[in-house]
Amino acid sequence: MIKKWQIYEANEEEIEQISENYKINKLLATILSNRGINTEEKIELFLNPKRNDFHNPYEMPDMEKAVDRIIKAKENNEKIIIYGDYDVDGITSITVLKSFLKDIGIEAAYYIPNRLNEGYGLNIPAVEKIAQEGYNLMITVDCGITCIEEINKANELGMDVIVTDHHEVGDELPNAVAVVDCKRKDNKYKCRDLAGVGVAFKLSQALAMKLGIDEKEYLKYLDIVCIGTISDIVPLVDENRLISKLGLMLVNQTKNIGLQAILKLSGYKNIDSTAISFGVAPRLNACGRMGHADEALKLFLSKNINEVNQIANTLNEYNRTRQEIEKTIYESALKQIQEQKLNENKTIVVSGENWHHGVIGIVSSKITEMFFKPSILLCLENGEAKGSGRSIPGFDLHEALLKCQNSLERFGGHSMAVGLTLKEEKIPEFAEKLEAEATQAHIEEIIPIIKIDAKINLEEVNRQMVESIKMLEPFGEANKMPVFVFKNLKIDSIRALSEGKHLKLTLKDNNTIVSAIGFNMGEFAQEYRIGDKIDVVGNLEINSFNGVDSIQINLKDIMKSI
């Protein structure tokens, strides 16, 4: 697939100034300049965030109302329940709020909907059940902002609701006592992109401020807040960077025995954002995907080491099962794509009998990544098709579904990810309409772009330079690992690994030789030969193998030198 390489236009004067003022190397200064981190305030906050850099939680919409209602419930000894989502963000949100409320003398119950039977968000049967059990106040975390009907039902049944959420607001706000969501149109809070757990954390902070409680009583949960924030792929800038950077320090010395157990099982020696994204998050998410989200919550809340170890092992098994199911669905989807030549279309719609609801979203992401086309995967059950879809940058999939809605029963989501339900017999009609929308949008003209931070000469690279990049961690959405271009390198050796799946190279520039690895780039081993001159883009990293550390380029793309 052809990719466009786009190198940032360097502001040399600004780069020199940043480098000199902050005593950092020119490469780091270049990256900061490229990313608009170019004022004293922004640079200091980015490089050296401190706990007193958190914004005032009372600048968030309805925060005062939420705090006052919770304090009133405490004084009146009312029954409180926290209603959360089944993913890592939801689980960590419940953990943080429930734990903090307990610290201030409030025993709150919790409710997590079953992903397979109830789906996302509030539902009427759950609200009725909660009301029947005598709860006076329900606090939503990581959900609730679009649940107009369900919250009206709660009000009818005599239950007050506080909504804390971070998702986009619909045409109207729910009729709740307080709606704490920075996506509200009247929001004035500086950081609009907190994860659900970030909002729950800010509620804890606001309660502590109102009750005169020391800040360490809510800051001690930053390890859990960090896990949810990184896992939910929110932009790791502003307050999210503060949460993730300070939180990772706490994660590395966490006192939460559940988190200790899952970190150990993840197998990562260096606990950074990568370890959370690829080691911890999949294991916690696997519970929700398999319909057992409460297991992940119990892991974080339990104080019993034997119970924790048992739950952690169960989570590991759920994750292994999830991987097996995912592999089966992925292979089945690929077979359909090949047999029906769907890769020649502008969009890909595939379906299968009894495909697992909790896994198809991951498979859709993989299909979209492989073919760089929007994809929809549908589970067929009793004449109904329920599915998930993923898109590519530049094509609004939710907007496309709006134009196909006559073929759908219901749908939701945003530009890059959607969920949908339709009658099985309507699949061909829907696929045709979606293809027409993509054709009209000239989707074939969209080319994946690799944004490159700087051009580097191989002979300039040393360990100190590579190590210095760690100052920019944690990496994630809106703060990607820096990408560099290296030009006119000679292939010294080349081979495919893992049955042709991956690519292994050594590259030479004059007397300097460096190793390079290209994951899922094994096909290039057939295109290039020893002695070829190539340009490559990738990340710089330290590779540790058999106790030996060496500099390595983690490849993103290759092309022949001009």
The CATH number for 22's domain is 2.40.50.460
Same domain, 385 and 461: no
In this structure, the answer to whether residues 412 and 471 fall within a common structural domain is no
Nearest residue to 322 (alpha-carbon basis) of 346, 345, 290? 290
Asked, for residue 328, whether it belongs to a domain, the answer is no
Could you tell me if residue 271 is inside a domain? no
Give Cβ neighbours of residue 252 (< 8 Å, ≥ 6 apart). 271
The secondary structure of 213-252 as a DSSP string is --THHHHTTHHHHHHHHHHTT---SHHHHHHHHHHHHHHT
Structure tokens at 306: 């034997």
Do 186 and 76 sit in the same domain of this protein? yes
Report the distance separating Cα 533 and Cα 508, nearest Å: 9
Residues 353 and 426 in one domain: yes
Q: Is residue 300 part of a domain?
A: no
> Considering 196, 225, 254, which residue would you say is the last residue of a domain?
225
Which pLDDT score is estimated for 146? 87
pTM score, whole prediction: 0.90
Local structure of residue 278 (DSSP, 8 states): I
Residue 499 in any domain: the answer is yes
CATH number, position 134: 3.90.1640.30
Element of type H or E holding 365: helix 360-371
How many residues would you count in the chain? 562
Q: Do 362 and 345 have their domain in common?
A: yes
**What was the pLDDT predicted at 81?**
98
Domain end position, chosen among 160, 194, 225: 225
Q: How far is CA 460 from CA 10, 105, 211, 518, in A?
A: 18, 59, 55, 22
By the 8 A CB rule, do 407 and 422 touch?
A: yes
How far is residue 137's CA from residue 131's CA, in Å, rounded to a whole number? 9
Does residue 248 sit within a domain? no
Judgement on whether residues 62 and 195 belong to the same structural domain of the protein: yes
Q: Which residues of 294-324 are buried (b: 16+ CB within 10 A; e: fewer)?
A: bbbbbbbbbeeeeebbbbbebbbebbeebee
Query: How buried is residue 236: exposed, middle or buried, by Cβ count under 10 Å (0-12/13-18/19+)?
Result: buried
Q: Do 530 and 386 have their domain in common?
A: no
The answer as to whether 475 is a domain residue is yes
Listed as ranges, residues in the chain with pLDDT below 50 are none
In the listed set 428, 445, 462, which residue is the last one of a domain according to the structure?
445
Residues 372 and 444: their CA atoms lie apart, in Å, by 10
- Residue 409 three-state SS: coil
Domain enclosing residue 525, as ranges: 4-48+450-560
Q: Indicate whether 91 belongs to any domain.
A: no
SS3 285: helix
Between CA 253 and CA 441 the distance in angstroms is 50
Q: How many domains does the chain have?
A: 3
CATH of the domain at 350: 3.10.310.30
Joined tokens for residue 417: 């990810």
Question: Is there a single domain that holds both residue 75 and residue 123?
Answer: yes
Q: What is the DSSP string of 315-378?
A: HHHHHHHHHHHHHHHHHHHHHHHHHTTGGGSSSEEEEEET--TTTHHHHHHHHHHHHTS-EEEE
Helices 222-231 & 88-103, crossing angle to 10 degrees? Answer: 160
Looking at residue 117, what is its pLDDT? Answer: 78
Tell me the β-bridge partners of 542. 551
For residues 478 and 502, membership in a common domain is answered with yes
CA distance 304 to 393: 45
Q: Which residue has the tokens 């004067």?
A: 13
Cα–Cα distance measured from residue 259 to residue 169, given in angstroms and rounded to the nearest whole number: 32
Residue 261 lies in a domain: no
**Both tokens of residue 174?**
């729910």
pLDDT, position 290: 83
Residues 516 and 454 reside in one and the same domain: yes
Q: Which amino acid is located at 502 in the chain?
A: H
Classify residue 260 by its DSSP letter.
H
Claim to verify: residue 14 and residue 101 sit in the same structural domain? no
Q: Is the peptide bond before 61 cis (omega within 30 degrees of 0)?
A: no
3-state secondary structure of 149: helix
Identify whether the C-beta of residue 117 lies closer than 8 Å to the C-beta of residue 124.
no
Kindly state whether residues 12 and 112 are assigned to the same domain.
no
